[in-house]
Each structure stands twice: as C-alpha cells, then as structure tokens.
Amino acid sequence: MQAAVEAAPGWQARYRERVERMLGRCLPPAGAEPARLNDAMRYAALGPGKRIRPLLVYASGRAIGVPPELLDAPAAAVELIHAYSLVHDDLPAMDDDDLRRGRPTTHRAYDEATAILAGDALQVLAFEILADDALLPLEAPARIDMIGLLARASGTAGMAGGQAMDLAATGRRLEPPQIEDMHARKTGALIRASVLLACAARPGLPAALRGDLDRYGTAIGLSFQIVDDLLDVLGDPAVTGKGQGSDALRGKPTYPAIAGVARARARAAELAHQGIAALSAFGPEAGELRDFAQELAARSR
C-alpha cells in the first residue's frame, strides 16, 4: 500500500520541488558576471514550467528502485536541454514568439544575442552537471551512459533534427506517419531519454524491463505531442498561455490539422494506453508512470 500512497498527486509537487532546487543550485548565481547572460539563463530555466521531463526521470526511477537522490542531476540536465530549446525555438528567426507561459520570451525580456548565448550556455550546463561527481554520485560508466543518451536525444538525430524537420515542413502537407516521425524527434526523443536516464542509473537493470520503459517513453512522447497540437487548435489561450491556432496560422503541419480532431484524440488516447500496457511486468511501483501517462493525454494545458 506504500506505493499507492506515494503515487498520490503529491509526488508530482515533490519531484517538481526537487528539480527546481537542483536547478537553482546548478545555475550560475543571480548577479554573478557576466550578469546579463547569467540572469537570462536563470530566467529561462527557472520560469514557470510543468517539468514533465524531470518528473518522468524520477517516476521511472521509482519504478525500478532508483532513489531520487541519484536522479537530481539527470532530472536537472534534461530540463536544461528543454529550456534551452524553448529559448532558441522562440527566436525571431525560428518561431518568433513574444510570449511563453504568459511571460515575455527570453529574447524579448533580454535581447536576441543574449538569448542565443543563454540557450548555448544552458545546453552545455546540462553536460557539465552530468560530468560533476559532486552532483551525480554514480560510477563513471553510468554517467557516460547518461551523457551519451542525452546528447543523442538533443542533436541532429533527436530534438534539433526534429525542429529542422518542423521548419522544413512549414507550409507543406505531411501524412500522419511523417508527422509522427518528426514529433518522435522533436519532442519524443527527449521524453524517451528522460525514462532511459533513470535506467542508466541502475546498471544491472534487466534488458526486458529497460525495453518496457523504452516503449512506454516512446508512446507517451508521441501522445504528448499530439495533445499539444490538439490544445493549439482547441485550447483556451488563457489556460495554454499561447494564442489559439498559432501553429495553424504559421502553416505548421499538426496531427489534428491533417487527421482531424477526432482521430487525433483517439490516437493520443491509444498511445497513452500503449504506454501503460508496456508496463504490465511492473507492479504498483510503476503507479506514478501509469498515472502520468493518463494525465498527459487528458491535460488541458
């Protein structure tokens, strides 16, 4: 019954607090030189956020018996990668967004040059944290695994490549499988990496269990992005924090735009279900992951 208690909604707030404390500790102190750059880094990384990727790191660790103390560094690292990607994606040459979660985007709050550099410095801070044995008390091979996982998920085969495909697809018609491929890189790779980072913290983990978690991460990563696209079409701007239909206005191919809202909804639910089904070998210790899959598919922001 202990597991059921720990899987109550409070776990999300606890994990969120943990990672935010770790981020605050790892980011350069406010006011330290170069102050404008360091302040912009803190602004981008410590602003409001759902912390979905860190939550997945901790919840996956819970499922395989890795204590949260060993996961603070990878949880912070994956959030830093996510934060940097938002700063760069929002730039005028990319999505040209003025608002992000109800606040000015980093290049609006500071300036473009500072935003570019802040993104660059946030990305590399993720790897600095994983290489620091004071922050990540694991054997070197496990830390190397984490660094490799996070690097591959972030680069041209992962997130940066997905963003490039997204830009290339703007104004063009894609079929649902092509959209899913793009999403698998753009958002899916980092969500999947969040789950696998926890696995890297337990070197002896049976391959079958790692495979289950991998399938879970892949399925909910895709589900997450389809719901994101649905919220862009249907969501209340006051809740989502961005203008309704902003993707459609930019000519971005989205799942609901191509397949229709009903099919998109069904696909998101199906993927969440697949994610949960992948965890059938786990007991109540995977309760957080199961709840999270459902919550992500049903979310309204």
194 binds a copy of itself (CB under 8 A): no
Greatest Cα pair distance, the chain, in angstroms, is 52
Q: Is 102 left (phi over 0), alpha (psi -120 to 50) or beta?
A: left
Cβ proximity to a copy of itself: between 11 and 110 the closer is: 110
Run of H or E residues at 102: none
C-beta neighbour count of 35 within 10 angstroms: 12
Cβ proximity to a copy of itself: between 17 and 133 the closer is: 133
125 binds a copy of itself (CB under 8 A): yes
Helices marked H in 175-286 = 176-183, 189-200, 207-234, 237-240, 246-249, 255-259, 261-277
| Amino acid at the residue 131 | A
Cβ atoms of 45 and 115 within 8 Å: the answer is no
Cβ proximity to a copy of itself: between 142 and 279 the closer is: 142
Identified binder of a copy of itself from the candidate list 46, 109, 164, 233, rule CB under 8 A: 164
33 binds a copy of itself (CB under 8 A): yes
Identified binder of a copy of itself from the candidate list 34, 65, 102, 237, rule CB under 8 A: 34
**Running DSSP on this structure, what letter comes out for residue 241?**
S
Cβ atoms of 68 and 18 within 8 Å: the answer is yes
Identified binder of a copy of itself from the candidate list 8, 30, 157, 249, rule CB under 8 A: 157
Among the residue ranges 159-167, 228-236, 241-249, 257-265, the one whose residues contact a copy of itself (CB under 8 A): 159-167
Cβ atoms of 188 and 49 within 8 Å: the answer is no
| Amino acid at the residue 1 | M
Identified binder of a copy of itself from the candidate list 70, 144, 234, 269, rule CB under 8 A: 144
Among the residue ranges 61-69, 123-131, 209-217, 284-292, the one whose residues contact a copy of itself (CB under 8 A): 123-131
Cβ proximity to a copy of itself: between 7 and 200 the closer is: 200
Helices marked H in the chain = 2-6, 10-26, 35-46, 52-64, 72-89, 106-109, 112-130, 140-154, 159-169, 176-183, 189-200, 207-234, 237-240, 246-249, 255-259, 261-277, 287-298
User: Smallest gap, in angstroms, from Cβ of residue 106 to a copy of itself?
Assistant: 12
Among the residue ranges 59-67, 109-117, 243-251, 270-278, the one whose residues contact a copy of itself (CB under 8 A): 109-117
Among the residue ranges 48-56, 59-67, 124-132, 213-221, the one whose residues contact a copy of itself (CB under 8 A): 124-132
C-beta neighbour count of 67 within 10 angstroms: 10
284 binds a copy of itself (CB under 8 A): no
Is 103 in a helix, a strand, or coil?
strand
156 binds a copy of itself (CB under 8 A): yes
Identified binder of a copy of itself from the candidate list 55, 59, 63, 160, rule CB under 8 A: 160
The residue ranges that bind a copy of itself (CB under 8 A) are 28, 33-34, 36-38, 41, 84, 88, 91, 93-94, 111-114, 116-117, 119-121, 123-125, 127-128, 130-133, 139-141, 143-145, 147-148, 151-152, 154-157, 160-161, 163-165, 167-168
